[in-house]
Amino acid sequence: MSYSVENLEPKAVWKYFERIRRIPHGSRNEAALSAAVVQWAEEAGCQAKRDAVGNVVVRVKASPGREKAPVVVLQGHLDMVCEKNSDKVFDFEKDPVSFVRDGDWLKADGTTLGADNGIGVAIALSLMEDKAAQHGPLELLFTVDEETGLNGANGLEPGFVTGKLFANLDSEEEGVFYVGCSGGRDTHTRLPISRGPLPKGHAAYRIDVKGLRGGHSGLDIVLNRGNAIRLVARAILAAADAAPIRLVAIEGGDKHNAIPREAFALVAIPAEGAAAFESRCAELLAGFRTEFASAEPDLQLTATREAQAPAEALTDASTMAAARLLLALPHGVLAMSRDLPGLVETSSNVARVRTEKDALSILASSRSSNMSALDGVVAQIRSVGALAGAAVESNKGYPGWQPNMASPLLAVAKSAWIKEFGTEPKFTAIHAGLECGIIGEKYPGIDMISFGPTIRWPHSPAECVSIETVGKVTRFSRALLDAVSGK
């Protein structure tokens, strides 16, 4: 049974988050939620409109006496990342997310929670019925398909929103205003592979890496967590020292913006080398646990013997090429910012691998606040792929958002925060792709900031949101709108 949020404050915010969790809304499956938002808006007496790609804008009338205040856009995205633990029976196409409370934290039961960005959407929606809030005209903009490449924002047309003051509600650290973000590009690498018959006398083993924390490939990449795909590749190469090994299949990761938590490889070795192979895998587990002791306390590596060996496997050369390529591709933090201490400038995530009939397919997602550096990472991936004999294709990606520390909206936000809470907020950029970069290009001259409640470990089943900070950020949102529209 899902934990009931109906008694949490602010009640209107949690009411909408409860409604949102009941409607499946993974990326590219937001139609039902998009339609529901339009219905909720009309029930609240607001005008709502959908565009050709499914984005929704809700227009909220100004509070009495503030009709001439500037229009403010509050923006969030409707889709969520659909990740679950491998042993969790759950269908993101039809099952509602179940809430679990752990002190101040609200999380889900074995799946992603959808607080990214459902809680931001809920905060915006709550303004439709908040008669106590003082604000000018509002445009609540809800985009679709953010998590797979900011595609909803890319599809925005001129005039869909008119406001020149813009608050993105997709940040994940209360008390921190984001004024810039990274751009990103995905690359797809295809390594041709050859298969051949497997001689008799071979044993098949399934190597599994599980128990990793994963997380957001931008926000959490700095934590230096394990990548299950790369650990499996290391296991294949290390086990080859104990016994000749041939790869049958390898699979790991899923979403481009999630650090892989689980991966497996099916391998074949001569039966007489089984004892040495199992011993080597046990040594690897001990080594990995020491290497990732603080970052991955639940790391598991298992080697399970299969009942029967397959008839064929990759050749020796293809096996080694596949494992070496997975290890050679850049992964993790590649450069730190020269201007903002502690901020990652450039990173890359080896996000997904699949064995196909005649190729190994690899997806990598790279980010940087420096577009030249981003091009450099893609060039590195292309170079590594070329050395391995693989073909590499990259998409155009999405732009970063350059900070504007002279932003008038930022100055008002800072003043409103200090007045409301008596503390200084922080200002920084984020090593993740916010829609602000694209929207800034779509609507020149728009003044933007981004903020939100504290969310930990988005894009993984450990995702959770701080209940207290939801209330605090909702309170600040109203204070900001009051300050912007004040007489």
**Residues with catalytic annotation?**
79, 146
429 with 173: CB under 8 angstroms?
no
Measured in degrees and rounded to the nearest 5, phi and psi for residue 452 equal 180, 175
Q: Can you say whether residue 45 is alpha, beta or left, with left for phi > 0 and alpha for psi between -120 and 50 degrees?
A: left
Q: What string of DSSP letters covers 240-260?
A: TTTS--EEEEEEEE--TTB--
Which residues make Cβ contacts (< 8 Å) with residue 154, sequence separation at least 6? 398, 438
Q: What string of DSSP letters covers 182-227?
A: -EEEEEEEEEE--EEEPPSSEEEEEEEEE-----BTTTSGGG----
Q: What is the distance between the alpha carbons of residues 381 and 365, in angstroms, rounded to a whole number?
A: 11
Inter-CA distances, 32 with 56, 76, 164, Å: 12, 16, 29
Q: What is the distance between the alpha carbons of residues 42 and 130, in angstroms, rounded to a whole number?
A: 15
149 with 257: CB under 8 angstroms?
no
Q: What is the distance between the alpha carbons of residues 38 and 162, in angstroms, rounded to a whole number?
A: 19
Q: What string of DSSP letters covers 45-98?
A: T-EEEE-TTS-EEEEEPPPTT-TTSPPEEEEEE--B---B-TT----TTTPPPP
Q: What is the distance between the alpha carbons of residues 114 and 96, in angstroms, rounded to a whole number?
A: 11
152 with 146: CB under 8 angstroms?
yes
Instruction: Give the other-Cβ count within 10 Å of 250's Cβ.
Output: 24
Among residues 34, 33, 30, 31, which one has the least CA distance to residue 20? 33
Q: What is the distance between the alpha carbons of residues 433 and 374, in angstroms, rounded to a whole number?
A: 13
Total residue count of the chain as it appears in this document: 487
